[in-house]
Chains A and B, each alone.
Chain A
Amino acid sequence: MSKELINTEGMIKRFPMGNREFTALNGIDLKIGKGEFCGLVGPSGSGKTTILNIVGTLDIPSEGTVKVLGNDVGTLTAKMAAKLRNKHIGFIFQTYNLLPVYTVYENVELPLLLLGYDKAKREKMIMDALEWVDLVDKRDSRPSQLSGGESQRVAVARAMVKRPEIVLADEPTANLDSKNSFNILSMMENLNKELKTTFLFATHDEKVMKYLRRKISLVDGKIAKDERIK
């Protein structure tokens, strides 16, 4: 396994559009190593989400090779892809996607249930995760009782609870005000430092960009600039 967690070479993604094809990604070469805190930035439609989906094994590239933790995304079976996501990849979405019928605790528990961990182990991991995002006192609340900022912190806890290698966050601050945005970003930054978790954002939010240590700018499905900051 190369030391890169994520390694794409000549990644091309085309979507059928009527009877023609639309090229959303046009030759992406990208290496992301362990512990990076980086983001895909660019205007809407530039291909950010498409990259996250492929790296997250929810989709496959049309051409090129994409390796995630040494696995070739293009040739993974659905089952293996699910397993990879289950164990090693956490997702954070713009709209939180908490399950409304479950408590905060239970929402964070779901990934661990899928991993088949026993109750004691789950409890310990959930409480750790809730501590990271400072929501221990809300463990029995329902999502409807939470503010937007709190909801997104639950989503972060849910993504982080299994201590994945990679967290993919698609526009995580788009629905948050600046105070909550900064709050959640500094939480993620701390987790990145403490746990060495690799974060890959997709964003066009200036506030997020301030935190990024590496900014990969996309234009029309191509990398226009790839800069490391400090």
Chain B
Amino acid sequence: MFKFLVKGLFRDSSRSRFPVIIVSIGIFLVVFLQAFMMGMVKDMINITAKMDSGHFKVMTRAYEELSSVVPNDLAIMDVDVLLEDLREEYPDITWTPRIRFGGLIDIPDENGETRVQAPIAGLGVDLLTPGSIELNNFNFSDTSVLEGRMPQEPNEILLSAKFAEQAGVKVGDQATLVGATMYGSMAIHNFTVCGLVKFGISVMDKGALIVDIEGARQALDMDNCAGEILGFYEDMNYGDRREESDKLREAYNAKYSDENDEFSPVMLNFMDQNEMRSLMVTMDSAIYGMLFLFMLVMFIVLWNAGLLNSIRRYSEVGLRLAIGEGKRHLINSMLLESLVVGFVGSIIGTLLGLALSWYFQKYGLDVGYAMENSSIMFANVFRAKITGQTFYIGFIPGMTATFLGTLMASRGIKKRQTAQLFKELEV
């Protein structure tokens, strides 16, 4: 009987094609949007992680407490030992030291007099070790430098192009950093501007200085020290490892962090910083909200399609009742049909969605073309990301919407007396 019904379903293209197309389109959108949102979440996570928080960040307890003011006097000392320990204990995570610092940048004129002076946010990262992850983190390469080249010496710096333009700084200029050493005395250090970059992140474009971490150490008297050690999952896929990262952080802190020693290390993961935990929860609910919305729309469309179908099939319903099919059986067979339609539609939709998602995962959507300047380093390429969820998420609304739609439509059959139906069906 099942075979018989399915045969009819697929021969009657008007009965199967329309709902299958509706489901396919809906599921296609759900699947693609899911992958796209996952991609955006991943990008968002990674931009924040690369710029600021890492997937993990290790600091001293004292530094962590005051981290908003970048207290370099509380930085990690003997950082090479700690780095080695981390690399040994967590080989799947790439660890890299950073020094954040603030200060004034002073650009002298040809006579050595101050021409411009402006506050600046400095970042010392590992630029000179070949294959350093920081080159990836900042998309640094000679081609991504707007003007000039990458630093090749510890005392060469990159400046944000916007800042340089406002300050009238050119590649090759001297720049003096006026700041504070780790020990609280005044630090004055001369750098050479070797390149200008555009970050695409307004806080950094306003005034940022990038220097190799050795340069920062020399300038701030921080030999073998670092304010922070950042850790990154090698595949940059944090989203799927949230729980894992919580466990890892907990275990590390239990083992190494000592409440009574303010210079003992403490680890935070991505979500522990910048209110990211609540943001991620919000993103999750946004995905489910979107799914629910799609389901509702599809459900209404399919309900109506189901109603239409039942009307078109009145004579079939009547005939089957007359032949002696029970109402329950009849409705069940229609529900079964709807599940077949939902399943086929979900498969088609999921395949289409996966295909498009795959394309955008591989090639990305380059909105940089749409923007004026395409040398922005971040957030100009939207990439989709296929997750495990991408494969099954479409089936939830696909199957339920067709099933519920048909269930609603078949209520008319259930409620009425057979005789009444028979009369209405005008067999």
Contact = CB atoms under 8 A, between A and B. Distances in A.
Contacts of A110: 4, 320, 323
A79 B418 CA distance: 11
B1 A97 contact: no
Interface string B318-348: 1111111111000000000000000000000
Contacts of B427: 93, 95, 97
Contacts of A114: 1, 323-325
A82 B8 contact: no
Q: How large is the interface on A (under 10, 10 to 19, 20 to 34, 35 or more residues)?
A: 20 to 34
Contacts of A86: 323-325
A56 B318 CA distance: 13
Contacts of A85: 322-324
A89 B323 CA distance: 8
Listed residue (B1, B318, B324) with the most chain A CB atoms within 10 angstroms of its CB = B324
A69 to B, nearest CB: 13
A113 B422 contact: no
Contact of B1 (A83, A89, A102, A113): A113
Interface of A is mostly: helix
B84 interface: no
Interface string A42-61: 00000000000100101110
Contacts of A84: 324
B315 interface: yes
Interface string B129-147: 0000000000000000000
A111 B11 contact: no
A97 B316 CA distance: 7
Given A95-B427, A106-B4, A114-B1, A101 B12 contact: yes
Contact of A58 (B7, B8, B418): B418
A95 B324 CA distance: 19
Contacts, number: 68
B419 interface: yes
A99 B323 CA distance: 13
A60 B327 CA distance: 17
A99 B15 CA distance: 13
A215 B298 CA distance: 56
A97 B324 contact: no
Nearest to B9: A101
Contact of B422 (A59, A60, A95, A106): A59
B326 A58 contact: no
Listed residue (B318, B319, B327) with the most chain A CB atoms within 10 angstroms of its CB = B319
A14 to B, nearest CB: 13
Nearest to B417: A59
Contact of B325 (A53, A82, A97, A101): A82
A53 B425 CA distance: 13
A85 B322 CA distance: 7
Nearest to B419: A59
Nearest to A100: B12
Contact of B324 (A93, A101, A111, A158): A111
A91 B4 contact: no
B8 A89 contact: no
A109 interface: yes
A89 B324 CA distance: 8
Nearest to B426: A95
Nearest to A93: B427
Contacts of A101: 8, 11-12, 15
A58 B321 contact: yes
Contacts of A79: 326
Contacts of A82: 321, 324-327
Given A53-B422, A58-B422, A113-B4, A91 B323 contact: yes
A93 B318 CA distance: 11
Given A97-B427, A102-B8, A56 B322 contact: yes
B4 A99 contact: no
A34 interface: no
A88 to B, nearest CB: 9
B324 A78 contact: no
A53 B423 CA distance: 10
B77 to A, nearest CB: 81
B61 to A, nearest CB: 75
A99 B324 contact: no
A110 B316 CA distance: 11
A97 B419 contact: no
A81 interface: yes
A30 to B, nearest CB: 19
Interface string B1-44: 10010011001100100000000000000000000000000000
27 contacts: A53-B419, A53-B422, A56-B322, A58-B322, A59-B418, A60-B419, A78-B418, A81-B418, A82-B321, A82-B326, A83-B324, A89-B324, A91-B322, A93-B427, A95-B427, A97-B318, A97-B319, A97-B427, A100-B12, A101-B12, A110-B4, A111-B324, A113-B1, A113-B4, A114-B1, A114-B323, A114-B324
Interface of B: 1, 4, 7-8, 11-12, 15, 315-316, 318-327, 418-419, 422, 427
Given A53-B419, A89-B324, A102-B8, 5 more contacts: A60-B419, A87-B324, A93-B427, A111-B323, A111-B324
